[in-house]
Amino acid sequence: MFNKKHIKIFFVLLILSVTTIILLPLSGLLMQKHNQADIAVVLGSMVHYEGRPSKQLKARLDTAYELYKKNCYKTIIVSGGLDPRGNDEALVMRNYLVKKGIPKQNIIMDNQGNNTRATATNLKNIIQNNKLLNDFKTEKQPSVAIISQFFHLPRTKLTFEQEGFKVNTTAYPKSFFARDLYSIAREGVAYPAYLFKIR
């Protein structure tokens, strides 16, 4: 049987859990950090049927472009998967950045980035296959800039560090979208799953 003490403990734990779920994604608002990095990774998001980036994805790409113009990095990885309609997120992302003036040879596509973990693990192969360590003049993993929505940054930074990368820069668009409310709630659940490598 549960007594009053057990019920009180339950509600305290419940409140702490809910608070953590809310605060973890919001902590990304404190992660705007624009240092130089060897390589940038822009994480994908939804693209429209006709091959245009969604508002959220466009905002990420615009942020990546702004930091590129400030010489924060020279090489950009655009990472995304194939959506149910067959759109290649990475291709859409690369084409958008090329139209903005970034040379195609400075952009590498990762079209197997179906989730945050895949993006981080794929980066190791991309670096090796493209011999990027020679470009960065280092024998270790290069420093990374990650660009995504603010609520996604805590989990993304955690994941890249778990995979052995040094995250020098974290950046997010200053815009906010109604869809972000759902994403914030989801991140509070996803972070522990990534922390304990359930995903």
34-66 residue pLDDT tens: 999 999 999 999 999 888 999 999 999 999 999
Which positions ≥6 away from 89 have C-beta within 8 Å? 44, 45, 47, 57, 78, 80, 81, 82, 83, 111, 113
- Predicted TM-score of the model (pTM): 0.89
pLDDT category at 13 given cuts 50, 70, 90 is low
Q: What is the pLDDT of residue 49?
A: 81
Q: So what's the architecture of 4-195 in CATH?
A: 3-Layer(aba) Sandwich (3.40)
User: Per-domain residue ranges for the chain?
Assistant: 4-195
**What is the token pair recorded at 32?**
């705007």
pLDDT category at 3 given cuts 50, 70, 90 is confident
Structure-model confidence comparison of residues 11 and 104, the more confident one: 104
